[in-house]
Structures are given as C-alpha cells and as structure tokens.
Amino acid sequence: MNPKKYTLGLVTAILALAAQSAGAHTLTATAGGLGSGLAHPFLGIDHLLAMLAVGLWAVQLGGSAVWKVPLAFVVTMLLGAGLAGVDLPFIETVIAASVLVLGLAITLPWRLAPLLASLMVALFALFHGHAHGSAMPITASPLIYFAGFAAATLVLHVLGAASGYLLFQRSQAVLVRVGGTGTGRRGSVAVERDLRRHLSRESTLHPVIFSA
C-alpha cells in the first residue's frame, strides 16, 4: 500500500466527517446517533489534538506501543463514556492537560515503556470518554453512538501514526517535535483558561467576606 495515498485517504475521510460536524447535534434517531458519534471528536480542538497526538507518540515509541497505546486509549475512552452519569471533577481541565502532556511527550520525547505509556493515555481517555458520553443526544442509541466516536477516534489515531511514520521515514523527526511543541502550547493555554474559569466560578459561589 502506498503510504502517501493511504494518508491522503485518511485526510479526505476526516475532512468529510468534519464538514458534517456543524450539524451533528441536530441529527435524529434515524441514524441511531452514528453521525453524532462520528462527529463529536472533531467538535473540540482538544479532543482532536489529543487523539492525533496519541497516534503520533505511539509511532515515536515504536515496538508494541504502536498498537497498545492507541488501543488503551480507545478501550478506556469507552469505559469513561459509560460513566457519563458519574460526576467526575475537572473534566475539561484534564482534557486540556492531556493535550499539554502529550505535546511534551512528543517534543522531549518521553521514552516510556508501552505499559506506562498505555496507563498514561488511559487516564486521559477516561475523561475524554466521559465528555463524549455526556454529549450523547437523548434520541441516540448508546451502542451506535459509542461505536461512532470510537471509530472516529481510531481514524484520528491512525492519521497521527501515519503522519509520524511518513515524517520519520523522511528523517524529519524535527517536524514531529515541532508539532508536539505546538500541541503542548495549545494545551497550556487551555489548561490556564479552564483553571481561571474554575477559580472564577468558585469565587462566585463562595465569595470572601471581609469583616471590619
């Protein structure tokens, strides 16, 4: 298989899905929630970057991590989606932190054992999955909706992995690290934004009362 044609096909598929994402939340039960599930990973830049980064980092690690790390992410993400009714703290902040940490992992790079790398991405995947599950339309079939966002996540993992593979084949590892740096910067901005929002909410709910 020609790697260039394969990657181009993946990019085309992603663009086609992304083009539908604007109307994803208006899809009815006729599609069983499949369209919403497919589109949801593309609705947030943090979801998108984290899933691409997982595939890229897996290729960077090499060996069995190429399949173990993405698989750990997808399986734990589905578990997190099933816990959508459970109140997890700092969901958006952890999702943003996943972008920051994965960006650092690619840039530095972190040479973790496949098991440790899988555990790390699994922790983040739990929160990504919770966010996906919480966004499920009321009329959607959970099974079909879950299958949709799992499939979209796998596409993003493969695209990240294919991009990394092509760059390493062309001895362009520096571009991989540049991408990791950009991803990390986006994550740091998102983490700061979410922490400020949380602190602002806390100060509103629990105002400080000064006594004379």
pLDDT tens-digit map of 52-64: 999 999 999 999 9
Q: Are 117 and 59 in contact (CB under 8 A)?
A: no
Taking Cα atoms as reference points, which of 53, 61, 55, 74 lies closest to residue 114?
61
Taking Cα atoms as reference points, which of 71, 59, 85, 191 lies closest to residue 142?
85
**pTM exceeding the 0.75 threshold for the entire prediction:** yes
Q: Which residue has the tokens 């899905």?
A: 17
pLDDT tens-digit map of 133-183: 999 999 899 999 999 999 999 999 999 999 888 887 766 666 666 667 777
Q: How many CA atoms lie within 13 A of 37 on its CB side?
A: 27
Cβ-based burial of 53 (10 A; exposed 0-12, middle 13-18, buried ≥19): buried
The Cα 188–Cα 168 span in angstroms is 26
CB environment 122-146: b (16+ within 10 A), e (fewer): bbbbbbbbbbbbebbbeebbeebbb
With a CB cutoff of 8 Å and minimum separation 6, the contacts of 85 are: none
Q: Are 147 and 79 in contact (CB under 8 A)?
A: no
Confidence of residue 86 (pLDDT cuts 50, 70, 90): very high
